Amino acid sequence: MSNNPHDPNSKLDVKDDEKHLLLDHSYDGIQELNHPLPSWWNAIFYTCCAFATGYFVYYQFLGGATLRQEFTQSYAKVLVAQAEFKKANSAFNQEHYQAIVADGGVKKGAMVYEVNCEACHSEKGKGDIGPNLTDDHWLLAKGTPGTVYNVVFNGSEENGMPAWAELLAKDEIYQAVAYVASLKNTFAKGGKEPQGEKVIETSETVVEK
């Protein structure tokens, strides 16, 4: 007799130490050994079943938050944090600005500008979708860091200037402002035509510069 399973005359070859595993039934002459699942496998399986039951009951019957509710809760926190940030930072802080400028703010601001502003204001503030930032005409700001800060922080969204308070870190805004302030009156070649009103430097704007 062979051990070939396709041979109708084959017989199960049961080793001596496996005899106790042989089940006492036989289907058309086929017998099997009982190899129970390893206990670690069973442990994982039953743990998953218990977890799934708890999960189902908690979320179906005990008021577990849905994804939408969790989102609404987290989003409400974001809105509160945003409102707090706006309240705390909406006013231009001259001392902080000077500290930023002293810390290489103009150079860092140039990088912030390149990534966030250049798409609309073109390279070096020449102006494109957004106005020329290198001339002495201003639509919303007056060329001083404080007025530029207000525009950058709050934006002019109905006209396409984003409110950067929601998009950039506070220091990045100050750096961008330092860079924009450094462009003022550099009259870049090939810049967009002046828009808004000409701002004549007063003692106040000179002091702020």
Q: Which residues bind ligand HEC (CB under 6 A)?
A: 113, 116-117, 119-121, 129-131, 133, 138-141, 148, 151-152, 156, 159-162, 164, 176, 180, 196
Asked if residue 183 lies in contact with residue 133, where contact means CB atoms within 8 angstroms, the answer is yes
* Shortest Cβ 127–ligand HEC spacing (Å): 9
Q: In the complex with ligand HEC, which residue's Cβ is closer, 10 or 195?
A: 195
The Cα 119–Cα 128 span in angstroms is: 8
Give the shortest CB-102-to-ligand HEC separation in angstroms: 20
Q: Copy the structure tokens of residue 84.
A: 């707090």
Q: What are phi and psi of 191, to 5 degrees?
A: -75, 165
Nearer Cβ to ligand HEC (10/89): 89
Query: Smaller CB distance to ligand HEC: residue 48 or 129?
Result: 129
| Angle of CA points 93, 96, 98, to nearest 5° | 110
As a whole number of angstroms, the distance between CA 97 and CA 106 comes to 11
Kindly calculate the radius of gyration of the chain based on its CA atoms and give it in whole angstroms: 36
Minimal distance, residue 93 CB to ligand HEC, in Å:
17
33 token code pair = 């050994």
Cβ 84 to ligand HEC, closest distance in Å?
A: 21
Q: Measured from the CB atom, is 92 or 164 closer to ligand HEC? A: 164
> Closest separation between CB of residue 130 and ligand HEC, Å?
3
Q: How far apart are CA 72 and CA 111, in angstroms?
A: 35
Query: Which CB, 11 or 107, lies closer to ligand HEC?
Result: 107
